Chains A and B, each alone.
Chain A
Amino acid sequence: MSITLTNVSKSYGNLKANDNISFSVKEGELFGLIGPDGAGKTTLFRVLTTLLIADEGTATVARFDVVDDYKSIRNNVGYMPGRFSLYQDLTIEENLTFFATIFGTTIEENFDLIKDIYTQIEPFKNRRAGKLSGGMKQKLALCCALIHKPKVLFLDEPTTGVDPVSRKEFWEMLKRLQQKGITILVSTPYMDEAALCDRIALIQDGKILEIDAPQEIVKHYPKALYNVGADNMYKLIQSLKEYEHHYSVFPFGEFVHYADQRPDFNKGELQGFLEDYGLKHVHIEPISPTIEDTFMELAK
């Protein structure tokens, strides 16, 4: 096991940021910690990277204990905290050289690891980090975290606040890194990114809701789910909420994901109800639940 957590709890005053968390990450796994702001992701990362000591429980990274062997962990992991902490007044090249030196290596030594990523920002290597766009900062921060070929990579919300194109590119890079044998623990609030991980842990308010592979997690959704569409989204939501048998009503893009309380749900009945309400072009079809549906269900 590359990372293990056993009954880890951590509080700030009255707020329990991590509540009895246990799970493990295998070597070479791409593991996602999925949850919104305030779920406890950053606190968990800080416990694992030895920046905070948990109130209860134990944890190991690369077989080293986070409290007793913190120095060994600090020598062997890559860490990218939120907000792309880079030196704004140093250039791309200077930032990279700095981190390489700190880790006792050179840019050349492990260049093959960061090559795909670096070539995208190389044309700007003499530009100061402060003047880079969000996507470029993200790539630079990733390079800096990888430059010493760590065994385990911790990425705390690396895609937050970045546009969808850069996010997609970033995950493609992560997948390629995984093939080189690095264990990656990444946290994100974006549910669609969860689908790209080997396994995910859904976390909300300090607690783990469920851990499994993405395809398995959706099986935890307890009811049959349907896409319902009509000509007026607002009216559709209102009417569905007034339908007495509704179990869950959540807008998803141009449709509403609807689940009924009854196992013997009748599409036609609902269609009639909605058309009576004045809605047109009513459209109901069964769909498979997504991770987001599952998350919302488990978080209730």
Chain B
Amino acid sequence: MDNQPIIQVESLTKRFGDFSAVDAITFKVDKGEIFGFLGANGAGKTTAMKMLIGISNPTSGKAHVAGYDVFTQAESIKKSIGYMSQKFALYDDLTVKENITFFGGIYGLSGAQIKEKTALMIEELELHEVAHQLVGALPLGWKQKISFSVALLHNPKIVFLDEPTGGVDPITRRQFWEMIYKTAHNGTTVFVTTHYMDEAEYCDRVSIMVNGKIEALDTPKRLKEQFEVDSMNDVFLKLARG
């Protein structure tokens, strides 16, 4: 049972009129994997991700996330996953603690659980001094780390990260990825999209979408071998430029 892929997608399609934003993509993600979901703007990444997290209805195809069907069990999917959006989705005018309490409540955690998690988070991210500060006043890197932890509050099986490191300084970016590694190490699957090609190298496997289709899907190492280049950046350039 545990060998079942945590995400299984078969010919998943999303059409708007006669335009196929996502065109029959097929792939699977195993438990505990760090899966990189890459593609240019407009390639269909965001549309595909929205279907997987249960907020958009597919036009056709099949997909199962955390064992649930995206067509019929979208609500159950939402309960089993964590999601961190590009804009970091924290309330700027609430304090760090208040944000954690709020999201904890939304995810159905009890008061005691929220307290425990809050203490844990403050300890791990070293937020002692800023726990009572408004999130809006914090630097971007901190917001990002808090947002990631918040997405994990309810111990989801998979966490979806939508361009989580945009604009942040290089040191914080790496600290963030260390957090991702730790999470995956603990058994949580990480599904991440990014524009930083060096981050693509951190993933176990990477898929690259071009015009709604998946044009490449493999480990970074094998992709580089396949395209005879040294970096994921060059793999991307070769694929997109043709």
Contacts and interface: CB of A to CB of B under 8 A. Distances in A.
Given A204-B169, A253-B231, A134 B42 contact: yes
B239 to A, nearest CB: 9
Interface of A: 35-39, 133-135, 160-166, 168, 189, 191-192, 204, 233-234, 237, 250-254, 292, 295-296, 299-300
Contact of B197 (A164, A233, A251, A296): A164
A93 B220 CA distance: 42
B153 interface: no
A253 B201 contact: yes
Given A38-B140, A39-B169, A164-B240, 11 more contacts: A36-B140, A37-B167, A161-B195, A163-B236, A164-B233, A165-B236, A165-B237, A189-B169, A204-B169, A252-B198, A299-B169
Nearest to A250: B174
A271 to B, nearest CB: 21
A237 B181 contact: yes
A296 B175 CA distance: 12
Contacts of A162: 41, 195
A192 B139 CA distance: 23
B17 interface: no
A35 B169 contact: yes
A-B pairs, 4 with minimum CB distance? A36-B169, A253-B201, A163-B40, A37-B167
Contacts of A164: 40, 195, 197, 233, 236-237, 240
A135 B41 contact: yes
B1 interface: no
13 contacts: A36-B141, A37-B169, A163-B39, A163-B195, A163-B236, A164-B195, A164-B240, A165-B240, A204-B169, A233-B181, A233-B202, A234-B185, A296-B171
Contacts, number: 89
A164 B197 CA distance: 8
B209 to A, nearest CB: 11
Q: Which of A162, A250, A251 has the most CB of B within 10 A?
A: A251
B132 interface: no
Contacts of B43: 163
Contacts of A254: 201, 220-221
B179 to A, nearest CB: 11
A145 to B, nearest CB: 21
Interface string B163-189: 100111111101001100110110000
A251 B174 contact: yes
Nearest to B239: A165
Contacts of A163: 39-41, 43, 195, 236, 240
Nearest to A162: B41
B168 A37 contact: yes
Contacts of A295: 169-170
Contacts of B166: 160-161
